[in-house]
Amino acid sequence: MPELPEVETTLRGIRPHLDGRRIARLIVREPRLRRPIPPEMPERVAGQPIRSLRRRGKYLLIELEQGSLLVHLGMSGSLRLAAPESVPRTHDHLDLVLSDGGLLRFHDPRRFGIFLWIPQSPDTALVEHPLLCKLGPEPLGDDFDGAHLYRASRARRVAVKSFIMDSAVVVGVGNIYASESLFLAGLHPARACNQIDQADYDRLAETIRLVLGASIEQGGTTLRDFVNESGAPGYFAQSLRVYGRAGEPCRICGTLIQQQRIGQRSSFHCPRCQP
């Protein structure tokens, strides 16, 4: 599933090719995504200039002269730059054709993604749109730190891994990055979040920043479906310390990595490094 680093990698890849361009037309081959694409959407976006692109959590916002495009990659989606003459593959559901001949193609085998026009500007959508208005702080932003995690956890009793994966607490800390961050912070993923002190949360906030930053620099994590805007895979999976390594020795102490279910998700930890 594309997570925050994959979405940020995609944003950085497509921004130079879209920013300041004009949309010639939108080609919709399959409107049945997680939220169906309305039949009038191609007409709404055709001819509009692209003013800016930004990310909020796992969402991409493409600001147009009137309204915005709201994009989520879902479970298996990707946005790729393609040549105008390239033949669409199976599951290439949309093409955003630019007036200068460029082409942005939305590929989504499972059709859990979102690609919609909304009437709001990005600034307004962030405070009004139901998919965006309740999101927590960005983990790489100035308003995210250990004090925020400590305050938000006092009235909660869930496992700390589930806590940091809650998008109302902090956005974009998906399953892979939660496991990796907790390992570096030396915290057991099943530990109750309200039993962790601020010093530990200070350390956890810093490891979340480090893990996400490292993944962005390496182009994201390739496990099953994700590729970046040019179709190339990310490489962060090669440096995973615990995720997906059940039964393998810990890279720090040699103890075998254990796997358990937390919040219906597979979790990985070292019993010695994360007591």
The dihedrals phi and psi of 203, each to the nearest 5 degrees, come to: -65, -40
2 catalytic per annotation = yes
SS3 state at 259: strand
Please give the Cα distance from 164 to 149 (Å, whole number): 8
Q: Catalytic residue at 245?
A: no
Residue 110 is labelled as binding a ligand: yes
The one catalytic residue in 25, 51, 111, 265 is 265
Distance from CA of residue 274 to its chain's centroid? 26
Measure the CA–CA gap between 17 and 248, rounded to whole angstroms: 42
Task: Judge contact between 53 and 62, C-beta under 8 A.
Answer: yes
Q: How far apart are the first and last CA of the chain?
A: 29
Distance CA 41, CA 19 (A): 20
Residue 58 designated active-site: yes
61-91 burial string, b = 16+ CB within 10 Å, else e? bbbbeebbbbbbbbebbbbbbbeeeeeeeeb
Residue from 3, 6, 8, 63 carrying the catalytic annotation: 3
Known binder of ligand: residue 191? no
Catalytic residue among 15, 55, 56, 58: 58
| 217 in active site | no
* Residue 269 annotated as lining a ligand binding site: no
Write down the catalytic residue from 2, 5, 139, 189: 2
User: Which residue ranges make up the annotated binding site for DNA?
Assistant: 91, 110, 156
Residues that are catalytic: 2-3, 58, 265
User: Which residue ranges make up the annotated binding site?
Assistant: 91, 110, 156
